A and B are shown apart, each in its own frame.
Chain A
């Protein structure tokens, strides 16, 4: 526990943004529409893989209200290609045009764009655009992509294996020969999509006189978005302003500059009119960005007591048709952090990423989602193979306090984490012996109860050191400014952009803490690249550590200047013994803080309006700016436990209990953190049980509506009991670690653990998600009625 040195950090403040969201006064992308705005609508490929032979847009252009119809050839005149060629061994460089010119690569690929007076007309016209295709064979699985003679998804590559890396530390093969057992386990995580409630969209406004693009776009990373827009439009970075309005959810889908958004920006410039595009739900589910679809196979060499001597991972990811991120980006993190809370020195991985005729993959909340399932599932499989208690196998392998800091086989450094503590906390809270008794009694009636555990070590904040080590160009630093205005009002800014996390209060708390004011008196401005400093945006769990940490340090810098001025005004020699507290300057006298009568407003007034009275060497004004590069990686950790029941007759799964003990270090605002934990777990469970992007054998996407891509409703989701633990990170400002993705990792892992625990009496195990009723029922059926220790007693 932190010894509460904080007064603003840690307050359970309700969120600033709530009042506007509750009254319909939020401003999301669609809520901004300058006069004369045109609307874009894309013509999309009906085939998974086809050559574009001709595009005839005469009829569409002739419709009243249509301003133009444009194709890949037009866009090539106004934009440059996206080339991704980081110097990573085994990764093929790739390049794509802004809109496809020669061929389409997935069902939903945009082939042309209509610009019209409104969306209704634009869709009328889009229907009239006549594209002639020559259909090519569709690659719809990783296996098909890697088959001999497979059609090429990207004609410029030698094959569909776009990325392949391997790594070995120690000697895992030798460990296999020494081991009592080698346990092989397979894990299939299916294709997901982010499905934020607000789909993608943008409003591009070209100021012809100033030659300046104003791009309104809900983006998690405004500055990188600006860099990408400027570079692809051939503009200078001082000719583009990105403004992010309120965002209705993103989950990783709103980071990259996608083709549609670039197209809209180019059209606004070409037409010198504001152009708006809002993706509809069919487009969002089929053509925005997908995620996951990863197969992992582990081989664990184990001692008779369950100690893992060596571990091998083989991973294959079905990346879809296009790379908006380096193809190794997500898979690599999985491989890097797989061993998580366990001591495993001998470790090797082989990671393949392949292209297929599906919508391209991108990072989705917890890009490394499968990691904990793979590790914990391996542990459970080891326990099962050796007939050991899965908890004992965890304990014999777990990193204890004495092992920390611990350098993983991959070189990653773990410190200030508490995996054994979170494990024991949930074990105690569950009451394992009592559960086992209930489970046994239920089994006697033919009912299947299961209990799972899943420990998570979540990589949260990626510092520059991580990118460097991974060979990915980019930085993990963040930037902030804090400004005290002449009235004493506090403004601050940072390069993040929230999409529902509720940054406004917690980040104000970080500023308030560092400066010495009330959080209510701080306004944090985000999302406008002309206002905010160049930062790396919101991704992973970096908001608190990188964003909050930078603001905290920057506010301290501003505070130092405030106190220096105050000392001068009070005619004291140094600032030792002075503090700013709730906006008032106080002086330590006889062991107690006493008022000085000075306030922040007095100091600000002096700084701005009476600079001749400033102490020597102090410049006028009161603003501070600062950048901060966090450690290469920060980690949070957690253990999830859940109790379920599977209905043998239908395969339906019901939650009896769900618990998480999570240690995410210093918490800026416990309300917000709790919301993130619940939301992440629910997203993980919904993904593991209900959601799946499905393509048929010809590459048609069958899950284009929310009736088919089935996100869990309130009825399906459990209540989540949280056990909060807070071990601060010693190397970050205020001990912040970050969080918000681990809930997904834990949920996926724990549901698999619970399901397989329930299935133990049947002698079957579930390896492929989603765990839908038909799938679970098929497993139960495959065990037959003569399954080992199960009585068959019918309940009416």
Chain B
């Protein structure tokens, strides 16, 4: 049907029943139908990374996904990262070392690295830069983002060791 279809989406643990056009991107549905405006739209062709969210725990471009596809999947957006208002080590490190300026790229970066750091708990700078290459930041020059990710990794290792 090109006509709107009924779907149910599980986002940040809550289920929502929606009626959406099949062509509506997940980014637009999250933002417009669910009011989750922390997912940003910067290019709509997969390059900038601003729209990155988690699908079943893996980072993915919300601009290259249609909301209709997402029934039965668990979605996580930036709004759910700081559990009950408490910033994660990565979010804390980003503000401590000034790893964000305009903040438009930030949600995509946070979500990418919340997952990446789980798989790569002891990263080196080159590894962080490689993983960051899928998120364009026009403001910071990346240096402080890299620094923040490394600092967060160290912090998380300390936390895990304790």
Q: In their complex, do chains A and B touch, with some C-beta pair under 8 Å?
A: yes
Contact partner of A672 (CB less than 8 A), chosen from B24, B98, B135, is: B98
| Cα-based distance from A707 to B68 in the complex (angstroms) | 27
Which residues of A lie under 8 Å from residue B79 when comparing CB positions? Answer: 23-25
Stretch from A85-93, A247-255, A322-330, A572-580 contacting the other chain: A247-255
| Cα-based distance from A711 to B79 in the complex (angstroms) | 28
Of all chain A residues, the one with the shortest Cβ separation from B91 is A22
Shortest Cβ gap from B75 to chain A (Å): 13
Stretch from B45-53, B115-123, B151-159 contacting the other chain: B45-53
Do A197 and B137 have beta carbons less than 8 Å apart? yes
Contact partner of B103 (CB less than 8 A), chosen from A120, A246, A679, A706, is: A246
Leading 3 A-B pairs by shortest Cβ distance = A24-B38, A682-B141, A500-B102
Do A705 and B45 have beta carbons less than 8 Å apart? yes
Which residues of A lie under 8 Å from residue B43 when comparing CB positions? Answer: 281, 705-706
Shortest Cβ gap from A709 to chain B (Å): 10
Contact partner of A671 (CB less than 8 A), chosen from B82, B98, B130, is: B98
Which chain A residues in 11-44 approach chain B with CB under 8 Å? 14-15, 17-28, 30-31, 33
Contacts beyond the supplied A671-B98, A706-B136: 10 A-B pairs with Cβ under 8 Å: A14-B96, A20-B103, A22-B87, A23-B79, A197-B105, A248-B104, A501-B101, A705-B47, A713-B142, A714-B135
Do A14 and B95 have beta carbons less than 8 Å apart? yes
Do A678 and B140 have beta carbons less than 8 Å apart? yes
A197-B48, A197-B102, A679-B101 known; A19-B138 Cβ under 8 A: no
A681-B141, A683-B138 known; A248-B45 Cβ under 8 A: no
A-B contact pairs, 6 of them (CB 8 A): A18-B100, A19-B87, A682-B142, A713-B134, A717-B143, A719-B143
B145 within 8 A of A: yes
A195 within 8 A of B: yes
Do A707 and B45 have beta carbons less than 8 Å apart? yes
B10 within 8 A of A: no
Do B44 and A280 have beta carbons less than 8 Å apart? yes
Binary interface encoding of chain A residues 179-205 relative to chain B, with 1 for a CB under 8 A from any of its CBs, else 0:
000000000000000011111000000
Do B142 and A675 have beta carbons less than 8 Å apart? no
Which residues of B lie under 8 Å from residue A720 when comparing CB positions? Answer: 141, 143
A26-B103, A246-B103 known; A715-B38 Cβ under 8 A: no
The main secondary structure of chain B at its interface with chain A is loop
Which residues of A lie under 8 Å from residue B137 when comparing CB positions? Answer: 197, 714
Which residues of A lie under 8 Å from residue B41 when comparing CB positions? Answer: 30
| Cα-based distance from A714 to B116 in the complex (angstroms) | 16
A765 within 8 A of B: no
Do A28 and B45 have beta carbons less than 8 Å apart? no
Which residues of A lie under 8 Å from residue B16 when comparing CB positions? Answer: none
Which of B24, B42, B44, B107 has most A Cβ within 10 Å?
Answer: B42
Do A717 and B101 have beta carbons less than 8 Å apart? no
A263 within 8 A of B: no
Shortest Cβ gap from A323 to chain B (Å): 25
Shortest Cβ gap from B29 to chain A (Å): 12
Do A679 and B81 have beta carbons less than 8 Å apart? no
Do B103 and A683 have beta carbons less than 8 Å apart? no
Of all chain B residues, the one with the shortest Cβ separation from A719 is B143
A22-B106, A675-B140 known; A281-B45 Cβ under 8 A: yes
Which residues of B lie under 8 Å from residue A280 when comparing CB positions? Answer: 44
B139 within 8 A of A: yes
Do B101 and A23 have beta carbons less than 8 Å apart? no
Which residues of B lie under 8 Å from residue A24 when comparing CB positions? Answer: 36-39, 77-79, 81, 107
B11 within 8 A of A: no
A756 within 8 A of B: no
Contact partner of B141 (CB less than 8 A), chosen from A21, A249, A500, A683, is: A683
Do A715 and B129 have beta carbons less than 8 Å apart? yes
B8 within 8 A of A: no
Do B144 and A678 have beta carbons less than 8 Å apart? yes
Which residues of A lie under 8 Å from residue B107 when comparing CB positions? Answer: 24
| Cα-based distance from A409 to B100 in the complex (angstroms) | 41
Which chain A residues in 222-281 approach chain B with CB under 8 Å? 246-249, 251, 280-281
Which residues of B lie under 8 Å from residue A249 when comparing CB positions? Answer: 101-102, 104, 138-139
| Cα-based distance from A357 to B47 in the complex (angstroms) | 28
Which residues of B lie under 8 Å from residue A678 when comparing CB positions? Answer: 140-141, 143-144
Shortest Cβ gap from B20 to chain A (Å): 11
Which residues of B lie under 8 Å from residue A683 when comparing CB positions? Answer: 138, 141
| Cα-based distance from A681 to B138 in the complex (angstroms) | 11
Do B136 and A713 have beta carbons less than 8 Å apart? yes
A residues near B (Cβ < 8 Å) are 14-15, 17-28, 30-31, 33, 120, 195-199, 246-249, 251, 280-281, 499-502, 671-672, 674-675, 678-683, 705-707, 711, 713-715, 717, 719-720
| Cα-based distance from A24 to B43 in the complex (angstroms) | 18
Shortest Cβ gap from B50 to chain A (Å): 6
Do A679 and B141 have beta carbons less than 8 Å apart? yes
Contact partner of A22 (CB less than 8 A), chosen from B45, B100, B138, B145, is: B100
| Cα-based distance from A671 to B130 in the complex (angstroms) | 25
Of all chain B residues, the one with the shortest Cβ separation from A682 is B141
Could you count the A-B residue pairs with CB atoms below 8 Å apart for me: how many are there?
171
Which chain B residues in 2-47 approach chain A with CB under 8 Å? 21, 23-24, 31-32, 36-45, 47
Of all chain B residues, the one with the shortest Cβ separation from A32 is B37
| Cα-based distance from A260 to B38 in the complex (angstroms) | 26
| Cα-based distance from A23 to B78 in the complex (angstroms) | 6
Shortest Cβ gap from B134 to chain A (Å): 8
Which residues of A lie under 8 Å from residue B77 when comparing CB positions? Answer: 24
B62 within 8 A of A: no
| Cα-based distance from A30 to B96 in the complex (angstroms) | 28
Do A707 and B47 have beta carbons less than 8 Å apart? yes
Do B98 and A714 have beta carbons less than 8 Å apart? no
Do A197 and B104 have beta carbons less than 8 Å apart? yes
Shortest Cβ gap from B150 to chain A (Å): 12
Which residues of A lie under 8 Å from residue B138 when comparing CB positions? Answer: 195-197, 249, 251, 683, 711
Shortest Cβ gap from A324 to chain B (Å): 21
| Cα-based distance from A244 to B93 in the complex (angstroms) | 28
| Cα-based distance from A198 to B42 in the complex (angstroms) | 6
B54 within 8 A of A: no
A14-B96, A23-B81, A197-B42 known; A682-B50 Cβ under 8 A: no
Which residues of B lie under 8 Å from residue A717 when comparing CB positions? Answer: 141-143
| Cα-based distance from A195 to B158 in the complex (angstroms) | 39
Which residues of A lie under 8 Å from residue B141 when comparing CB positions? Answer: 678-683, 717, 720
Which residues of A lie under 8 Å from residue B135 when comparing CB positions? Answer: 714
Shortest Cβ gap from A503 to chain B (Å): 11
A33-B32, A197-B50, A197-B136 known; A15-B98 Cβ under 8 A: yes
Of all chain A residues, the one with the shortest Cβ separation from B80 is A24
B69 within 8 A of A: no
| Cα-based distance from A227 to B144 in the complex (angstroms) | 38
Which residues of A lie under 8 Å from residue B142 when comparing CB positions? Answer: 682, 713-714, 717
Of all chain B residues, the one with the shortest Cβ separation from A705 is B45
Shortest Cβ gap from A638 to chain B (Å): 15
Do A23 and B38 have beta carbons less than 8 Å apart? yes
Do A248 and B103 have beta carbons less than 8 Å apart? yes
Contact partner of B133 (CB less than 8 A), chosen from A248, A499, A679, A713, is: A713
Contact partner of B146 (CB less than 8 A), chosen from A199, A672, A714, is: A714
Which residues of A lie under 8 Å from residue B100 when comparing CB positions? Answer: 18, 21-22
| Cα-based distance from A217 to B54 in the complex (angstroms) | 30
Which residues of A lie under 8 Å from residue B128 when comparing CB positions? Answer: 714
Which residues of A lie under 8 Å from residue B67 when comparing CB positions? Answer: none
Do A21 and B82 have beta carbons less than 8 Å apart? no
Which residues of B lie under 8 Å from residue A22 when comparing CB positions? Answer: 82, 87, 91, 94-95, 100, 103, 106, 110
Which residues of B lie under 8 Å from residue A31 when comparing CB positions? Answer: 31, 37
A24-B36, A248-B40 known; A120-B140 Cβ under 8 A: no
Which residues of B lie under 8 Å from residue A680 when comparing CB positions? Answer: 141
Of all chain B residues, the one with the shortest Cβ separation from A248 is B104
A22-B106, A671-B98 known; A198-B40 Cβ under 8 A: yes
Shortest Cβ gap from A701 to chain B (Å): 16
Shortest Cβ gap from B51 to chain A (Å): 11
Which residues of A lie under 8 Å from residue B146 when comparing CB positions? Answer: 714, 719
